Amino acid sequence: MLEIRFHGRGGQGAVTSAELLAEAALTEGKHAQAFPSFGPERRGAPVTSYCRIDELPIRLRTNISAPDIVLVLDPSLLKTVNVTDGLKETGTLIINSQKGPEHFVHNHKLHKIATVDATGIALQILGRSITNTILLGALIRTIAPVELSSITAAIQKRFDQKNAALNIQALQQAYQETKILNMPDYPTQENQFADAPAATGENAPVQPQAQSLWIELELGCLITNPGNSKTYYTGSWRSFYPLLNKDRCIKCGICWILCPDAAYTQDTEGFYPVDLNYCKGCGICAHECPTGAITMLQEKEAGV
Ligand code: SF4
Ligand code: SF4
- CATH classification at residue 259: 3.30.70.20
| Dist. CA 207–CA 230, nearest whole Å | 12
Q: Considering the domain boundaries, does residue 202 fall inside one?
A: no
Residues 174 and 290 in one domain: no
Task: From 160, 195, 230, give the residue that closes a domain.
Answer: 195
244's enclosing H/E stretch is strand 240-244
8-state DSSP, 84: T
Q: Is 264 helix (H, G, I), strand (E, B) or coil?
A: strand
pLDDT (0 to 100) of residue 197: 41
Residue 291 near ligand 1, beta carbon < 6 Å? yes
| Dist. CA 22–CA 20, nearest whole Å | 5
Amino acid occupying residue 165: A
Q: Considering the domain boundaries, does residue 304 fall inside one?
A: no
Q: What is the percent of the chain with per-residue pLDDT over 70, rounded to a whole number? A: 83
Residues 184 and 250 in one domain: no
Q: Residue 231 pLDDT > 50, yes or no?
A: yes
Please classify residue 224 by burial: count the beta carbons closer than 10 Å to its beta carbon, then call 0-12 exposed, 13-18 middle and 19+ buried.
exposed
Among 54, 96, 59, 90, residue whose Cα is nearest residue 76: 96
- Residue 229 domain boundaries: 208-298
How do residues 143-156 score in pLDDT, each as one tens digit? 989 999 999 999 99
Sign of CA dihedral 37, 40, 41, 44: negative
Q: Which residues contact 102 (CB under 8 A, 6 or more apart)?
A: 113, 181, 186
Residues 255 and 215 in one domain: yes
Residues 165 and 229 in one domain: no
Mutate which of 241, 243, 247, 249 for ligand 1? The one with the most ligand atoms within 8 Å of its CB, which is 249
Mutate which of 245, 246, 254 for ligand 1? The one with the most ligand atoms within 8 Å of its CB, which is 254
Residues 60 and 180 in one domain: yes
| Dist. CA 118–CA 120, nearest whole Å | 5
CATH number of domain containing 159: 3.40.920.10
- Is 110:91 a contact under the CB 8 Å cutoff? yes
Count of domains in the chain? 2
pLDDT (0 to 100) of residue 77: 85
Q: Considering the domain boundaries, does residue 84 fall inside one?
A: yes
pLDDT (0 to 100) of residue 275: 92
What is the maximum span of the chain, computed from C-alpha positions, in angstroms? Answer: 66
Residue 274 near ligand 2, beta carbon < 6 Å? yes
Residues 121 and 269 in one domain: no
Q: What is the CA radius of gyration of the chain?
A: 20
| pLDDT band with cut points at 50, 70 and 90 for residue 14 | confident
- Is 18:50 a contact under the CB 8 Å cutoff? yes
Residues 52 and 152 in one domain: yes
CB atoms within 10 A of CB 221: 7
Q: Considering the domain boundaries, does residue 203 fall inside one?
A: no
pTM, two decimal places:
0.75
19's enclosing H/E stretch is helix 14-27
Residue 292 near ligand 1, beta carbon < 6 Å? no
Task: From 139, 169, 195, give the residue that closes a domain.
Answer: 195
Residue 282 near ligand 2, beta carbon < 6 Å? yes
CA torsion, ordered 39, 50, 147, 134, to nearest 10 deg: 20
- Kindly give the distance from the C-alpha atom of residue 283 to the centroid of ligand 2, in angstroms, as a whole number: 5
Residues 187 and 256 in one domain: no
| pLDDT band with cut points at 50, 70 and 90 for residue 230 | confident
Q: Residue 185 pLDDT > 70, yes or no?
A: no
- Kindly give the distance from the C-alpha atom of residue 30 to the centroid of ligand 1, in angstroms, as a whole number: 53
Residue 242 near ligand 2, beta carbon < 6 Å? yes
- Is 248:292 a contact under the CB 8 Å cutoff? yes
- Is 280:238 a contact under the CB 8 Å cutoff? yes
How do residues 37-51 score in pLDDT, each as one tens digit? 876 667 778 889 999
CA 118 distance to own-chain centroid = 10
